[in-house]
Amino acid sequence: MNVIDSYLDTLFAPYPDSARMREARSELGAMMEDKQQGLLDDGFTEPQAIGKVIAEFGSLEEVAPVLGISTELGGSSFAEAQEPSHVSPERAEEYVAAVRRSQWMPAVAVPMFVLSAVPLLLLFAATGSASPQPPPWATGTGLVLLLVMVGAAVMLLVARDAKLGDFSDLEEGDFDLSPPVRRFAKDLKRQNRRAVAIAVAIAIMLWILSAVPTILAGLAAEPEGTGTLYGVSLTLMMVALGLWVLLRQGWSDQAADNLLKESEDEDSPDWSTSPAIRAIAALYWPVIVAIYLAWSFIWGAWEISWVLWPVAGVLYAGLWSLNVAVGRHPEGTATGRSSA
Amino acid sequence: MIGADAIRGHIDLILLAILETRPSYAYELSKTITDRSRGEYVVKQTTLYTAVKRLQSHRLLDSYEDVSSSGKPRTYYKITPDGHDQLDAKRAEWRSTRALVDHFAEGQDTA
C-alpha cells in the first residue's frame, strides 16, 4: 500500500461503503496516480510529487453532494448508525430538558441501593439485644424490604434509560458538534457551575462525616450488643443522602458533557458506561451488609465487625478511582472523551 | 496564480470546451487545464471530479471505460448533444458576463 492509497483510505473511512463511493475512491485514486507519474516524469522527486498530489487533492466534502452521501444517510439504518448525525440546537434543548425531568430517577434509585439494607439493620438493632439470634420475622421482613428496594431502584434506572432512549445518539457521542450546540452546552455548564460545586462539596462532606456514627456507635456499644447497627444505619443514610444531593444536581453536567462529548464528570461508578462497574456499584452496599451481618451473627464478632464499614468506604473510593483511571474507553465508544 | 473562487462558476464551461474536441479522462482534463492556463490555474482534483460527475448526472457528459496512453484502464468522458447545447449557452453567457465586467473594470463611463 502506498502513501496515496492510505491517504484515500483515511479520507473515505468515515463514509458508508457503497458502489458509488468505491467508484469515486478508485477514480480519484487513478487521478492521483496519474498526476504523481506526470510529476515524476517532469523531474520531481517522489516525496515532492506525493506532497504536491496531496496538496492539490482538494476536500472530500466538496464531492459529498455528487456522491449522494446525504441520501445514503437517510436511506438505511446501517448508514444512520455509522454516520455522525447533525444535532440542532432545538434538539439539544429537548435533550437537556429530558435529562433534567428524569434526573430524579437515578437520584432516587442510586441512594436506594445504599439504603436497601437499612430496614434489615434497624430491625436487627431493635430486636437483637433481646436474644443472640434475631427473630425470623425480623430477618424475613428485612430481607423482603431489601429486595423490594433493590428491585424498585433497578426499575427506576431502566425506566430512565427508556425515557432517554430517543437521545441515544447524543448519549453515545454519535453526532457532529456544531458551534451553536457547543455554546449552548458550555452556557448550561457555566450557569450551573456554582450549584454543582455546592452539591459536590455537601456530598463529600457527608461521605467523610458518614464514618462518625459507625465509629462512635462501635466504641460506645457493649461488645455483645447490636447497638452498632444504629450507627451503621446512620452511616448508610448519610452516604445515601450525599449521593442524592450529588445526583439531583448532576443533570446539567451530564447533559452538557454528553453534548460536548466529554465525560469528565462521569467519574462515579454509578454512572459509568461499563456494565461491569455498574453492576458492582449497584450490588456493592447490599453485599457489604450481607458480609457484615454474616460476620457479626455467625461468629458473634460485634465488637470488631464494625471495622468493615470504614474499610468498605475506602474500597468504594478505590473502586471509584479505578473506574476513573481505567474506565475511559469502555467498548471503544468513549475514546477521545478523556479528561486530565 | 488565479484563485479557485474566481474560476468555480466557470468550470463547467471549461470542461465542456475541452471535451468538445475529443473525449478525455480525469487526469488528462486537469493537465490540459494546467497546461493551457500556463500554470496560472491548477484545478483541485475533487473540484474536477465533482464537476465531471455533476455534468454527467445532467446528461451533458457520457462516460465509458478505455485504456489511457500510459496503458492503464481509465474512465473517459465525452460530450453529449445536450452538452453541446449547454456549451453554446454557457459561451453566450460568458461573453455577456465578460462584457459587463469589462464595462465596470475598465472604468469607462460610456452611458
Give the amino acid at A140: G
State how far residue A27 is from chain B, nearest Cα, in angstroms. Answer: 8
CB contact under 8 A, A63 and B46: yes
Q: What is the pLDDT of residues A239-258, one digit of tens each?
A: 889 889 988 888 888 888 88
Instruction: Supply φ then ψ for residue A263, to 5 degrees.
Output: -140, 35
Domain assignment present for B71: yes
State how far residue A25 is from chain B, nearest Cα, in angstroms. Answer: 11
Looking at chain B, which residue has its C-alpha nearest residue A53?
B45
- The tally of domains found in chain A comes to 2
DSSP assignment letter at A16: P
A32 CB within 8 Å of a chain B CB = yes
CB contact under 8 A, B42 and A24: no
Give the amino acid at B107: G
Percent of chain B predicted with pLDDT > 90: 50
- The CA distance from B59 to A235, in Å, is 78
Q: With contacts defined as CB-CB under 8 Å, which chain A residues touch B53?
A: 24, 63, 66-67
Q: What value does the mean pLDDT take over residues A41-55?
A: 90
Same domain, A129 and A254: yes
Whether residue A336 has pLDDT greater than 50: no
Tell the residue number behind the cell numbers 450551573, with chain if given.
Answer: A192
Q: What value does the mean pLDDT take over residues A33-52?
A: 90
CATH number of B8's domain: 1.10.10.10
The set of long-range contacts for A139-147, using a CB threshold of 8 Å and a minimum separation of 24, is A145/A116, A145/A119, A145/A120, A146/A116, A146/A117, A146/A119, A146/A120, A146/A286, A146/A289, A147/A116
- The CA distance from A334 to A257, in Å, is 12
Q: What is the pLDDT of residues A288-304, one digit of tens each?
A: 878 887 787 777 666 67
Q: What is the pLDDT of residues B66-83, one digit of tens each?
A: 988 878 889 999 999 999
C-alpha cell at A108: 432516587
Same domain, A93 and A64: no
Domain range holding B93? 4-105
Q: With contacts defined as CB-CB under 8 Å, which chain B residues touch A38?
A: 27, 31
Domain assignment present for A75: yes
- DSSP H helices, chain A, are 3-12, 19-41, 46-55, 60-67, 69-75, 77-82, 89-102, 104-115, 118-128, 136-163, 168-171, 179-209, 211-220, 228-248, 250-260, 275-298, 302-305, 308-326
Domain-ending residue, one of A82, A116, A132: A82
User: A115-129, A201-215, B1-15: which has the highest mean pLDDT?
Assistant: A201-215
Domain assignment present for B59: yes
Domain assignment present for A43: yes
Domain assignment present for B23: yes
Domain assignment present for B110: no
Same domain, A77 and A93: no
Other C-beta atoms closer than 10 Å to the C-beta of A60 total 20
Whether residue B23 has pLDDT greater than 50: yes
Instruction: Supply φ then ψ for residue B64, to 5 degrees.
Output: -155, 160
Which of the four pLDDT bands, split at 50, 70 and 90, describes residue A276?
Answer: low
CB contact under 8 A, B72 and A34: yes
Which of the four pLDDT bands, split at 50, 70 and 90, describes residue A81?
Answer: very low
Same domain, A239 and A112: yes
What pTM did the predictor assign?
0.48
> Which has the higher per-residue pLDDT, A177 or A187?
A187
Domain range holding A194? 89-332
- The CA distance from A217 to A207, in Å, is 17
Which of the four pLDDT bands, split at 50, 70 and 90, describes residue A114?
Answer: confident
C-alpha cell at B8: 468555480
- The tally of domains found in chain B comes to 1
Mutation target for A interface from B45, B47, B58: give the one with most A CBs within 10 A. B45
- The CA distance from A35 to A302, in Å, is 84
Same domain, A171 and A274: yes
- The CA distance from A266 to A199, in Å, is 15
C-alpha cell at A182: 457547543
Domain-ending residue, one of A33, A67, A82: A82
- DSSP H helices, A15-135, are 19-41, 46-55, 60-67, 69-75, 77-82, 89-102, 104-115, 118-128
CB contact under 8 A, A57 and B46: yes
**Residue A8 and residue A28 in contact, taking contact as beta carbons nearer than 8 Å:** yes
Domain-ending residue, one of A23, A47, A82: A82
Domain assignment present for B41: yes
Domain assignment present for A314: yes
Q: With contacts defined as CB-CB under 8 Å, which chain B residues touch A62?
A: 44, 46-47, 50
CB contact under 8 A, B44 and A62: yes
Identity of the residue in A33, A35, A58 whose CB atom sits nearest the CB atom of B47: A58
Domain assignment present for B50: yes
The set of long-range contacts for B36-45, using a CB threshold of 8 Å and a minimum separation of 24, is B37/B2, B40/B1, B40/B2, B41/B1, B41/B2, B41/B7, B42/A56, B42/B1, B43/B4, B43/B7, B43/B11, B44/A56, B44/A57, B44/A58, B44/A59, B44/A62, B44/B4, B45/A28, B45/A31, B45/A32, B45/A35, B45/A56, B45/A57, B45/A58
